[in-house]
Amino acid sequence: MSIEIANESGMDVPEEDLVSVARFAIGRMNVHPAAELSMVLVDLDTMADLHMRWMDLPGPTDVMSFPMDELEPGGRPDGSEPGPSMLGDIVLCPEFAIAQATKAGHSLDQELALLTVHGVLHLLGYDHAEPEEEKEMFGLQNTLLAEWYESLREAQRRAAQTERDRTLLGKAGFTDSGDPLGPA
């Protein structure tokens, strides 16, 4: 899976985390592993321009999605096996997201992860214009985020356990290969 990210926002953001959460969401949604995604982080003025140009709405917004290939989540049962595709572009505005993060009581990093998943779901055809659509999309968004955060916690637990094991094995006189140190 190819995910390109360009930070033109002038803000320092955790680009690796944004790629990670996008990759996680795309994988969970059973999108072909060779799919491509582009992410651009922009400033308020650029986002306001895009918002007016594409949505005919004044002022900046938090995230916009521009799908390329029309996809259906999970595919059609009577359709052929989906191949690689260009999902499209997600445009994020970190500066706009700061106020939302503060209002929600979480960090900017968490808000950007949420917006990334939101953008991915829009690329996959999800919407929230109607109450039922909103319930489905936001429920899926929350599930994907919770699973991603759990996967990060599990990776941290495994890394900590590996480090504890190395320390204990080193104190017991074993090398990383499990062989005792010293003369045979």
Which amino acids are annotated as binding site, given as ranges? 118, 122, 128
Per the CB < 8 A criterion, the answer to whether 146 and 113 are in contact is: no
Residues at the annotated binding site for Zn(2+)?
118, 122, 128
Per the CB < 8 A criterion, the answer to whether 62 and 101 are in contact is: no
Residues 107-136, buried b or exposed e (16+ Cβ, 10 A)?
ebebbbbbbbbbbbbbbbebebeeeeeeee
Coil, strand, or helix at residue 139? helix
DSSP strand pairing (2-7 vs 36-41): parallel
